[in-house]
Structure 1
Amino acid sequence: MAKHSARRGSRAKRDHRKQPAQATHNLPVQKNETIEATIEDLTHEGQGVAKVDGYALFVPNAIPGEKATIKVIKTKKNHGFGRLVELQEESPDRVEPPCPIYKWCGGCQLQHISYDAQLKAKQKQVKDAMAKIAHQPDLPVYETIGMTTPWRYRNKAQVPVGTNEDGHLKAGFYQKRSHDIIDMESCIIQANENDDAVQITKRILDEEGIEAYDEEQGRGVIRHITARHAASSGDVMVILITNTKELPNQDEIIEKMRDRIPTLKSIVHNINPENTNVIFGETTNTLWGDDYIYDTIGTTKFALSARSFYQVNPEQTKVLYEQALNYAQLKGGETVIDAYCGIGTISLFLAEKAAHVYGVDSVGPAIADATQNARLNNIDNATFKVGNAEDVIPWWYEAMGIKPDVIVVDPPRKGCDEKLLKTMLDMKPERIVYVSCNPATLARDINILAEGGYEAQEVQPVDMFPQTTHVECVSQIVLKEEGGSQ
């Protein structure tokens, strides 16, 4: 197999011997047709893109620059999907995935691409979003900050449980584009401690005859096993998510888990009887040990409960938050608002440099954790409130007269609420620091803020999720001066 990269942009060559007898659509390719094409790009989901007379074919496991034989498996009006049959010319960025179940598992998407190429692809994904959505092709997007060792980084595993052909429990991530569980003994992007805790717990539940939840029938007991690992202390919390109010053989299960998981500090039971894809239910009880385990980022200590939102990559979290703090440019006298603050991770970093920080999040337990974390670190210049950012922040501004110098936002994938963006424009903080897990919505919101008098100065991608297509970004956005920019 050739090890040099192919020339980009070459026109796909049709293999007429393998075309279907009749065309069913007026498209350049037909379902079940086999073609030869050059892979020209990579989608944000990690699929290669081939072009046939301008018609895009999305091809999993293909890398830009490769020449390949592709079977068309599905066609739509504007694009289609193909399967990689054979490579004529292989990219020098192609590597052998080290995970034995990578071909089937839906957890990772980029293990077949070298890590350097992954970082470049993520930078390109952000650049493309800034050009096409923010309409700012010249906005500086720096090289993605990666990890020295991009494996074994995740501090939380959430693993669905099912039943294998022999009637025993299996635990693993879902197969790509399905809810079929791929049984696994190890996940090489998980911390070893999480791997061990999940597998040991699975075996104990199997020994005790605990039945896996069947989502089609809505029956059974164990739905998910979740493990949290605190990197700084080594402590592990295991959460058992069940369909039932009671955990059968609870005492026996606890005794065996305590005996076999040496770093175990907490066993938690979460009850989710709903017919839903949401992992956690509303009721959570600690069966044994502590309600919290503790981790540190830099010098700041955090209490983590079963439901706490906490970045899954502790090494890169420190990089991300230091970048956010750098963009905030705090000198000690500023008032800062932290929207979507979670358990106060960014808020407490900011509080060390600001006069006062106001944090808001819609999840009540997260705000309780944030308040506790402030006390844990002897921070008395941070105030936290439960509510939607788009409701609380206007109230702070209009009713309480709070006018921030800096606003930090770290929204979910859908980006900032339109009402929040409007309030930010009304408040006119000198700086907005935007932490994003979705380059597309970051670009959309940068465009809205630009129309309201703000200028995005730069974007720094950070690789929080190696081997996957996800990328985190921090953007520095400043208020333009009258007649020009700062």
Structure 2
Amino acid sequence: MTDAPPVQKNETVEVTFTDLSHDGSGVGKVKGYTLFVPDVLPGETAEVKVIKLKKAYGFGKKLEILKQSPERVDPPCEIFGRCGGCQIQHLSYKGQLDFKQKQVREALSRIGGLDHIDVLSVLGMDEPWNYRNKAQVPVASRNGELIAGFYQKRSHHIIEMDHCLIQDSTNDEVIQEVKRIAKDCGIEPYDEERHRGTLRHIVVRVGRVSGELMVILVTRGQDLPFRKRFIQELPKKFPQIKSIAQNINTRRTNTIFGEETRILWGREVIYDQIGDVKFAISARSFYQVNPEQTKVLYDKALEYAGLTGEETVIDAYCGIGTISLFLAQKAGHVYGVEIVPEAIEDAKANAALNKLSNVTFEVGKSEDVIPAWAEKGIKPDVIVVDPPRKGCDQALLDTIIDMKPKRMVYVSCNPATLARDLRILEDGGFKTEAVQPVDMFPQTTHVECVALMSRVEK
């Protein structure tokens, strides 16, 4: 017979909190039993109602804070706590940076056993607001009225929103104008349960340096009624709009975009730049949402790569070539590989746009393409990886260990998989010199890192 939790559902308990979880909930213990509670901070004591119990841990709801943390601030957003976009607006910005450094350090220690690694202070923003260059909001109907906003935490219930404090304010203004036109024209919002209606999502992208705007209207079917109204009225109110597109998504899915995109007006791309590198951004291009901090991230990756102008570099998850082109400014030659064909086309176009001829891009799996390059005599001095949240494929890590580059730069958006992969690479003959966290997503729990590894000569 297993031991029952020392608390009961609906019981009120007093809890002192010592940590934050990966989703920003406070972590505290009652008689050794862990409780996760939103909207409380480390160092705080609160009266908590127990609302859900599992064998090893439970969840609670804050009733009253009895002792407050000096790092607590009043969240400026009126829908914070209901909207799922931000998790830690109630924590001072210094407190957010300290939390993210601790999050990285603990992941490296707990998952990778990497206590020797120097985790540097997080590189934050001077102004940690209005940084996102892409807004994508779902559309629905409520009481017969078209609404758009963000999903409530852990649900598909839309919290209507006029202004988001982490989005570029111009994007918010464009969304409001699209909503106005759609309402005036009686365009039917998408009904997720019945899979009916026309307008599913409104997506707006802005070039933070260029100021150029792209508007993408995601529809359930081929038809977009009153498309001429959008084409006539949006650029008139916002002359910086250079592209209006329709994306067609006919599937019952949570995925925003479908496979087909039509340009209704203007260009296929808008332009932006990070540092001295210019990028063409299409409707479905992956492009970092915080370009100011992306430059900080890439400058650190470039520094860690230690390039003198002679090196051969492989970028193993090159996407549209953002890191590759940054590195190509200082490298002898950069080889980029990416599994998404459209991204490679964008990467080649971006190389031409920047008149960089010392780059080669190829479609395929890194673990297949890189050994094929090795057979052709391409031996990298530096390998750079920037994988998705799931981290590097084991076959790629084996390939990197076999190729024995002098240095490796690992750009990560997930401290847990970073810790796992660094452990494997250390066991394969590399040493982690430093890990530099960068705050790409202020007010949220997410953190990016750049890690430098060097080959240990035996």
TM over 0.5: yes
Shift of the alpha carbon at 1:481? 1.3
Query: Which of 115, 140, 145 is the matching residue for 1:137?
Result: 115
- Residue type of the alignment partner of 1:266: S
Cross-structure match for 1:188: 165
Shift of the alpha carbon at 1:261? 2.3
- Residue type of the alignment partner of 2:224: L
Paired residues of 1:161 and 1:171 also in contact (CA < 8 A) = yes
Q: Output the CA distance in 2 between the equivalents of 1:146 and 1:70.
A: 33
Q: Within the alignment, does 1:79 sit opposite 2:48 as a pair? A: no
- Residue type of the alignment partner of 2:168: A
Shift of the alpha carbon at 1:390? 2.6
Q: Output the CA distance in 2 between the equivalents of 1:272 and 1:25.
A: 50
Shift of the alpha carbon at 1:385? 1.1
Shift of the alpha carbon at 1:197? 1.1
In the TM superposition, what are the counterparts of 1:450-465 in structure 2 within 5 Å? Answer: 450-465=426-441
SS in 1 for 2:159: coil
Paired residues of 2:17 and 2:44 also in contact (CA < 8 A) = yes
Shift of the alpha carbon at 1:148? 0.5
Cross-structure match for 2:423: 447
Q: Within the alignment, does 1:303 sit opposite 2:280 as a pair? A: yes
- Residue type of the alignment partner of 1:151: W
SS in 1 for 2:47: strand
Q: Which moved more, 1:403-412 or 1:130-139?
A: 130-139
Query: Which of 221, 227, 237 is the matching residue for 1:260?
Result: 237
| Cα-to-partner distance string for 1:34-54 (whole Å, 9 max, x where unaligned) | 100101111111110011222
Q: Within the alignment, does 1:51 sit opposite 2:33 as a pair? A: no
Cross-structure match for 1:435: 411
Paired residues of 2:87 and 2:444 also in contact (CA < 8 A) = yes
Paired residues of 2:37 and 2:60 also in contact (CA < 8 A) = yes
Paired residues of 1:200 and 1:261 also in contact (CA < 8 A) = no
Shift of the alpha carbon at 1:25? 7.3
Paired residues of 1:97 and 1:111 also in contact (CA < 8 A) = yes
In the TM superposition, what are the counterparts of 1:164-179 in structure 2 within 5 Å? Answer: 164-165=142-143, 167-179=144-156
- Residue type of the alignment partner of 1:239: I
Cross-structure match for 1:147: 125
In the TM superposition, what are the counterparts of 1:25-44 in structure 2 within 5 Å? Answer: 26-44=4-22
Shift of the alpha carbon at 1:260? 2.3
Paired residues of 1:239 and 1:267 also in contact (CA < 8 A) = yes
Shift of the alpha carbon at 1:389? 2.0
Q: Output the CA distance in 2 between the equivalents of 1:243 and 1:394.
A: 43
Task: List, as ranges, runs of 4+ consecutive aligned residues in structure 1 with deviation greater than 4 Å.
Answer: none
Paired residues of 2:4 and 2:55 also in contact (CA < 8 A) = no
In the TM superposition, what are the counterparts of 1:30-429 in structure 2 within 5 Å? Answer: 30-165=8-143, 167-398=144-375, 400-429=376-405
| Cα-to-partner distance string for 1:66-109 (whole Å, 9 max, x where unaligned) | 01001111111111111011000011111110011112100000
Q: Output the CA distance in 2 between the equivalents of 1:204 and 1:43.
A: 42
Q: Output the CA distance in 2 between the equivalents of 1:424 and 1:331.
A: 22
Q: Output the CA distance in 2 between the equivalents of 1:156 and 1:479.
A: 38
Taking structure 2 as the reference length, the TM-score comes to 0.98
- Residue type of the alignment partner of 1:420: L
Shift of the alpha carbon at 1:173? 0.7
Q: Output the CA distance in 1 between the equivalents of 2:337 and 2:46.
A: 50
Shift of the alpha carbon at 1:176? 0.7
Q: Output the CA distance in 2 between the equivalents of 1:235 and 1:295.
A: 8
Q: Output the CA distance in 2 between the equivalents of 1:254 and 1:305.
A: 18
| Cα-to-partner distance string for 1:390-415 (whole Å, 9 max, x where unaligned) | 322232224x3321110000000000
Q: Output the CA distance in 2 between the equivalents of 1:274 and 1:385.
A: 30
Q: Output the CA distance in 1 between the equivalents of 2:304 and 2:99.
A: 24
Q: Output the CA distance in 2 between the equivalents of 1:93 and 1:191.
A: 26
| Cα-to-partner distance string for 1:4-59 (whole Å, 9 max, x where unaligned) | xxxxxxxxxxxxxxxxxxxx971111211110010111111111001122221111
- Residue type of the alignment partner of 2:265: W
- Residue type of the alignment partner of 2:52: K
SS in 2 for 1:433: strand
Once superposed, what is the RMSD of the aligned Cα atoms?
1.1
Q: Which moved more, 1:389-398 or 1:82-91?
A: 389-398
- Residue type of the alignment partner of 2:350: N
Q: Output the CA distance in 2 between the equivalents of 1:363 and 1:159.
A: 25
Query: Which of 409, 426, 442 is the matching residue for 1:466?
Result: 442
Q: Output the CA distance in 1 between the equivalents of 2:340 and 2:89.
A: 34
Taking structure 1 as the reference length, the TM-score comes to 0.93
Q: Output the CA distance in 1 between the equivalents of 2:425 and 2:454.
A: 10
SS in 1 for 2:449: strand
- Residue type of the alignment partner of 2:294: T
Q: Output the CA distance in 1 between the equivalents of 2:400 and 2:257.
A: 33
Q: Output the CA distance in 2 between the equivalents of 1:376 and 1:56.
A: 54
Paired residues of 1:47 and 1:62 also in contact (CA < 8 A) = yes
Q: Output the CA distance in 1 between the equivalents of 2:194 and 2:405.
A: 53
| Cα-to-partner distance string for 1:171-224 (whole Å, 9 max, x where unaligned) | 111001100000011001011111111111111111111111111111111111
SS in 2 for 1:432: strand
SS in 2 for 1:173: strand
Paired residues of 2:81 and 2:87 also in contact (CA < 8 A) = no
